[in-house]
Amino acid sequence: MLRIEPSSLRGATTVPGDKSISHRAVMFSALAPGVHRVRGWLQAGDTLATLSVMQALGLRVSQEDGELRIESQGLRSPTWPRLDCRNSGTTMRLLSGLLAGAGIEAVLDGSDQLRRRPMRRVTEPLRRMGAQIEDTEGRAPLHIRPAALHGVEHHLPIASAQVKSALLLAGCFAEGETVVHEPARSRDHTERMLLAMGAPLRLSEDRRTCAIQRPATRLQSLDVMVPGDFSSAAFLIVAATLAPGSEVSLQQVNLNPTRIGLLHILQRMGASIEIADLAETSGGEPLGTLIVRPAALRATQVGGEEIPLAIDELPILALAATQAEGETVIRDAAELRVKETDRIAQVCDILRAFGAEVEELPDGMIIRGPRPLRGAHLSSRGDHRLGMLIAVAGLIARGETILEDEACIADSFPGFATTLARLGAKIG
């Protein structure tokens, strides 16, 4: 349980390593026999699920001086009875493509929460490639059996980095070319990492289409530095924007253009966010420092191609909108209903508990502001992003806010409360 009181945030900090890149760095090591080195790896609930599964599949992993050292001999054993993905949808979806391509028999399972999440969006296109996968009424457990795959041209109905990544991983082993078309750009960490490993990957000019052709195994070993996770930084960005008297410098944050939709939306709303110290990691990921100060916000419209670039940040964007002048409308975000929780319904409930005026839509919400917030006593519902949303709302709400079930925040941002306290938040 955390207690939060109104506070300003001041100072400089980093945020934990990027979760998406951390998942991929461990998983993609199986494609290239040899020694891989990963610095800045996120050690959190979801990424530890991936690490545990990949160790079960034969990767030898050690840590020294903050560096992950991975020894890989490729994927060899043909059968694994059950691999526990715990609570991580990324682990299950990407691994389904990797194992189906490698011809390994396994059952992918996880927590009750993960078993409720839809999996046919990835199992059906994999079956088109010849994969033998049985799901359970469209959900986990997934039973994968060995099968020879062939390349297929996929047209995804919804932009999804997880589905795209699963298909590209399967395509590394498939006969012929695997092509994935998306209606809008989604996170491109998979493409960047495969290219850094020397994979035969082609990208269209608008980067909505990617294609891979075998042989794409036995690639170069990874030696990467994982930048700070923008999705984690988003909560501190909004906190510093809304809390009077704040000034926060967030250092070495991933500024991949497919991740920073929230940054552009907030700047459009009038946020004061300065970008400095731009650089690039060895894996081709841009990073930099974000300096954030309070600003008066105005309402905006969010939808269409912006949604995949800000999908995980929409809950905290909704909080920012409660303090913006006018009516903010978020549409085309039905994907939020099939995350760890139904984030549309839950965000609306949470913001109303703080006194905000919010209208739930089938694919989003309407937020009318600005509205003064009052402290509330709420649970995270076991969803790490909802837990952080409640904590940040508590920094600007009148009176005390109590957050129950805060431990789940460690799924993506271990040390979140400690980071806030170090920046001056009254939290404990």
pLDDT tens-digit series, residues 51-68: 999 999 999 999 987 799
Instruction: Please list the active-site residues.
Output: 312
Look at the block and give the residue holding tokens 């920012």: 320
**Spatial distance between the Cα atoms of 426 and 422, rounded to a whole number of angstroms:** 10
pLDDT computed for residue 177 by the predictor = 96
Among 171, 188, 221, the domain-final residue is 221
Domain of residue 389, CATH code: 3.65.10.10
Domain residue limits at 63: 19-221
Decide: 124 and 139 in contact? Cβ < 8 Å: no
- Provide the token pair at 335: 């994907």
pLDDT computed for residue 284 by the predictor = 86
| pLDDT beyond 80 at 307 | yes
Do residues 201 and 268 share a domain? Answer: no
Among 181, 202, 221, the domain-final residue is 221
| pLDDT beyond 80 at 78 | no
Average pLDDT over residues 400-407: 97
Do residues 285 and 184 share a domain? Answer: no
Decide: 240 and 293 in contact? Cβ < 8 Å: yes
pLDDT computed for residue 285 by the predictor = 95
Measured N-to-C along each axis, helices 189-196 and 161-171 cross at an angle, to the nearest 10 degrees, of 30
pLDDT computed for residue 279 by the predictor = 96
pLDDT computed for residue 193 by the predictor = 96
Which H, E and C letters describe 124-188, residue by residue?
A: HHHHHCCCEEEEECCEEEEEEECCCCECCEEECCCCCHHHHHHHHHHHCCCECEEEEECCCCCCC
Among 203, 221, 239, the domain-final residue is 221
pLDDT tens digits along 316-333: 999 999 999 999 999 999
Q: Across all residues in the chain, what is the average pLDDT?
A: 96
Do residues 80 and 187 share a domain? Answer: yes
Average pLDDT over residues 327-356: 97
Total domains in the chain come to: 2
Do residues 160 and 53 share a domain? Answer: yes
**Spatial distance between the Cα atoms of 229 and 413, rounded to a whole number of angstroms:** 9
Do residues 187 and 329 share a domain? Answer: no
Decide: 240 and 246 in contact? Cβ < 8 Å: yes
